Amino acid sequence: MPSFAPFLFLYYSYRKPGFTEGDLKVIQNPIGKQIFFAGEHTSPYGASVHGACESGLRVAQEIIQALD
Ligand SMILES: Cc1cc2nc3c(=O)[nH]c(=O)nc-3n(C[C@H](O)[C@H](O)[C@H](O)COP(=O)(O)OP(=O)(O)OC[C@H]3O[C@@H](n4cnc5c(N)ncnc54)[C@H](O)[C@@H]3O)c2cc1C
């Protein structure tokens, strides 16, 4: 277990009932043009490897757009 994350290891996110697409947009929202959020918890396909990959592709696009 990484010492920097004693409570973050071998887990995935869980959405409460009532979680909306709007909530997802908030989680995905970058901070300026420097901090971007990827990870399964930011994907419509949460709690899966597919979601993690999808989020990486989304953030790559966001970074490319931020560089323009
Ligand atoms: C038991 C189990 C079974 C699963 N089975 C499946 C399955 O069959 N199919 C499927 O599609 N998905 C499955 N999943 C879900 C899948 O593993 C996750 O959704 C996916 O790995 C999430 O990828 P991620 O990159 O978003 O996050 P993670 O894989 O959790 O990666 C996050 C990384 O960030 C690191 N980190 C955390 N904090 C810090 C910090 N402060 N500084 C630096 N690094 C940090 C962590 O150490 C970790 O390496 C399973 C998950 C579990 C726990």
Q: Which atom of ligand 1 is nearest to the CA of 13?
A: 19
Nearest CA to ligand 1 atom 36: 5
11-38 confidence digits (pLDDT tens)? 899 999 999 999 999 999 999 999 999 9
Q: What is the pLDDT of residue 10?
A: 75
Domains of the chain: 25-67 (1.10.10.1620)
Residue with the nearest Cα to atom 9 of ligand 1? 48
Model confidence at 1: pLDDT above 60: no
40 close to ligand 1 (CB < 6 Angstrom): yes
Q: What is the mean pLDDT of the chain?
A: 92
- Predicted confidence (pLDDT) at residue 6 exceeds the cutoff of 90: no
Say if residue 49's pLDDT is above 60: yes
What pTM, to 2 d.p., does this model score? 0.89
DSSP 5-67: -TT-SS----PPTT--HHHHHHHH--BTTTB---SGGGSTT-SSHHHHHHHHHHHHHHHHHHH
